[in-house]
Structure 1
Amino acid sequence: MFKRGKVKGIIFDCYKTLIDIETDEDSLDTYYILSRWFCYYGVNVSPEKLKEEYRTKVKEAFDSSEQQHPEVKVENIFSEICLENAIWDIDEEILGIEAARLFRAASIRKFRAYPESFELLEIFEDYPKCIVSNAQRVFSEMELKYLGLHKYFDFVIFSSDYGYKKPDQRLFEIAQKRLGLKAEEILSIGDTVENDVEPPKKLGMRGMHIEDAWKTTSAFKSFF
């Protein structure tokens, strides 16, 4: 499958590739926790209104974007909500960041690292590696650190930093430039063909589904 020495750098997706996660942003319980927490910081908004405003503001941000695959910063969304519902003076920027993290924590139903992916990371230990993820730096970076994954990578590219997300090929172009490798020397591994396999392939990279990578672990040990 792979010629020895041909692949010199690896790009990983994050969620459902390195991290097994399930969240529920539709449940009113998620917004109830955040709504009750807000009362200690001078923000008066019911769970129902919070859910409606969050969804509306995210949709408006997507609709107003000129990007084909738009992305938002969730902390900015929550900053706006906090400012509009404040009943005393607040620091909406800091509060927006903390609200985004609490919202994430309240929504999580499953959260762990895949042991199979740890094995892959050990195989690729001496290779330049990065993550390209449709994720929010405000909480995703800490999740990677908490699970002991962040240390394996030279850098992480989060879509929230750029205003657009995969399958936009530009995120992979940025990764290639920072890795300092030719496209054909890079292997992208992820859980969706449309986001993690096809876009890098169009740039001349290689692409592999994470489940195929797990199955090929023994072969990787022979080549890397």
Structure 2
Amino acid sequence: MSIRAVCFDLYGTLINIETNEDMEEIYRGISHYLTYHRVFMNRREVRERYFAVMKERKRQSTERYPEIDVEAIWHTILIQENSKPLNGREKLAKELARLHRGISRTRLERYEGVKRTLKSLQEQYQLALISDAQRCFALPEMRALNIKKYFDIRIISGDYGYRKPDSRLFQMAAEQLEVAPHQAIYVGNDMFRDIYGAQQAGMKTIFVDSNQGAKSYNDIQPDYFAHDFYQVLDGVAFLAQKHADN
């Protein structure tokens, strides 16, 4: 059977992003913003509470590779502060998650060749996204860089409470694509989370050597090594031909 789908990691593969959650400006800005919602916490309290709730939620998780839900973290903080109105907490939690992300972000850009490659692959294959991310800011960031339109199927770890290399995320994508895992290629930049995870699920793999991600993990080797994103098309063609020959 032929290759029918190509799945992608997001950050470090399609999007070149840098964030710094240690910046004081983040928590000062959130502290000031919260006063408009009658929640009064200084920046030190905001920072300490954010990381304390995150740590506790990870501790309570039964998953081998736990993933946080940033909206849930802020919602917990709002509950602890007895914020009003009660029916507005979920909306405010999403706003705070996006505000935190926006201030912490120092870079957001597509890697060279991404849009052209996706457009070309879309003509022949189904495409899907499998990302360790949070839906509340991943989708707007994809939209801002004009790549959201290429992915109708988006598996985002923050929705499930576990992250790559958990094979369930890759299997979920294959199910939604209605293909067997061995009929899909996964493209990622992290040898552990992406390549190892996808191979455990039965997918073929392309490793993109970007400026981010783990470059090695034990003796794991990808099915194709792309030195940059421009080589992804060559990798897909190579693996598709190899699969057809078998």
Superposition TM-score, scaled by structure 1 size: 0.91
Instruction: Judge conservation of contact 1:123–1:221 (CA < 8 Å) in 2.
Output: no
The residue type paired with residue 216 of structure 1 is Q
Q: What residue number does 2:132 align with? A: 134
String of CA shifts for 1:106-139, please: whole Å, max 9, x gaps: 1101111113222321221221011000100011
* Separation in structure 1 between the aligned mates of residue 114 and residue 100 of structure 2, nearest angstrom: 27
Q: Partner of 2:229 in structure 1?
A: 214
Whether the 8 Å contact between 1:73 and 1:161 is mirrored in structure 2 is yes
Q: 1:94 deviation in Å?
A: 1.4
The separation in 1 between residues aligned to 2:104 and 2:82, in whole angstroms, is 23
Instruction: Please identify, of 90-99 and 134-143, the stretch whose mean Cα deviation from structure 2 is larger.
Output: 90-99
Superposed displacement of residue 189, structure 1: 0.4
Q: Does 1:93 align with 2:90?
A: yes
In structure 1, give the amino acid aligned to 2:104: S
* Alignment partner, residue 116 of structure 1: 113
Report the CA distance shift for 1:24/1:43 in structure 2 as closer, same or farther (over 3 A): same
**Does residue 177 in structure 1 map to residue 192 in structure 2?**
no
Aligned partners of 1:201 and 1:222: how far apart in 2? 19
Give the AA of the match of 1:7.
Answer: I
Aligned residue number for residue 157 of structure 1: 155
SS in 2 for 1:41: coil
Q: Shift of residue 71 of structure 1?
A: 1.3
Which residue does the alignment assign to 1:50?
A: 46
Instruction: Give 1:191's aligned residue.
Output: 189
Q: What secondary structure is seen at the aligned counterpart in 1 of 2:198? A: helix
Cα distance in 2 between the residues matched to 1:220 and 1:67: 33
User: Matched residues in 1 for 2:180 and 2:10: separation?
Assistant: 22
Distance 1:217 1:79, change over 3 A: closer
Higher relative contact order (CA 8 A, sep 6+): 1
Query: Over the residues paired in the alignment, what is the CA RMSD in angstroms?
Result: 1.9
Amino acid at match of 2:92: L
Question: Unpaired segments of 5 or more residues in structure 2?
Answer: 210-225, 241-246
Indicate if the aligned counterparts of 1:30 and 1:103 stay in contact, CA closer than 8 A. Answer: yes
Tell me which residue corresponds to 2:200. Answer: 202
Q: CA deviation at 1:28?
A: 1.5
Question: CA offset at residue 219 of structure 1?
Answer: 2.8
| Contact 1:34 1:103 survives alignment (8 Å) | yes
Runs of 4+ in 1 over 3 A off after TM superposition: 86-90, 220-224
Of 17, 22, 28, the match for 1:26: 22
Shift of 1:201: 1.1
Instruction: Name the structure 2 match of 1:40.
Output: 36
Counterparts of 1:215 and 1:148, CA distance in 2: 18
What letter is aligned with 2:38? G
CA distance in 2, matches of 1:88, 1:216: 52
Deviations along 1:65-103, one digit per CA (max 9) or x if unpaired, are: 111111121111111212323565452211111111111
CA distance 1:186–1:92, change in 2 (3 Å): same
| Residues 129 and 151, structure 2, Cα contact 8 Å, conserved in 1 | yes
Report the identity percentage.
30
When normalised by structure 2's length, the TM-score is 0.83
Shift of 1:14: 0.5
Query: CA distance change for structure 1 residues 217 and 156 in 2, over 3 Å: closer, same or farther?
Result: closer
Check conservation: 1:189, 1:196, Cα contact below 8 A: yes
* Aligned position for 1:79: 75
Secondary structure at the counterpart of residue 98 of structure 1 = helix
